[in-house]
Amino acid sequence: MTSIAFVFTQGPHGSSAGREGLDAVLATSALSDEIALFFVSDGVLQLTCGQDPQRVLARNYIATFGVLPLYDVERCYICAASLAERGIAVESLRVLPADVLSAQALRMTLNNYDRVMTF
């Protein structure tokens, strides 16, 4: 079976990329068990708790990340360097549990997937 990695690189609410990526993950989860999510650069903000998207007239889709384990999407990785660049503590509460990896370890893990989709 083909393994698929979804890489989130953009912050939430500034564009539709995060919501579209999440929709793609949910649709793909019906077809494959080999799915992993990677959060790098501004994509680490996708998992930040306590967001108030209504203030910018955006839909709150972030909570949907929390139901991914129900769809057997359990491999999630977040870049430690990206967190540090944005002043986010490694121990910060997130809407979805994710393993924090160094940039090098994240690249090595991502290299194990057959297909990579970036949002």
d(CA 83, CA 39) in angstroms, rounded, equals 10
pTM tops 0.85, yes or no: yes
Domain map (residue ranges) of the chain: 4-118
For the stretch 49-88, pLDDT in tens is 877 767 767 777 888 898 999 999 999 999 999 999 999 9
d(CA 25, CA 102) in angstroms, rounded, equals 24
Class of domain 4-118: alpha beta
Q: Which strands make up the sheet holding 75-79, listed edge to edge?
A: 99-101, 75-79, 35-39, 4-8, 115-118
Structure tokens that stand for 39 in this block: 């959060």
Structure tokens that stand for 5 in this block: 């990695």
The β-bridge relationship of strands 75-79 and 35-39 is: parallel
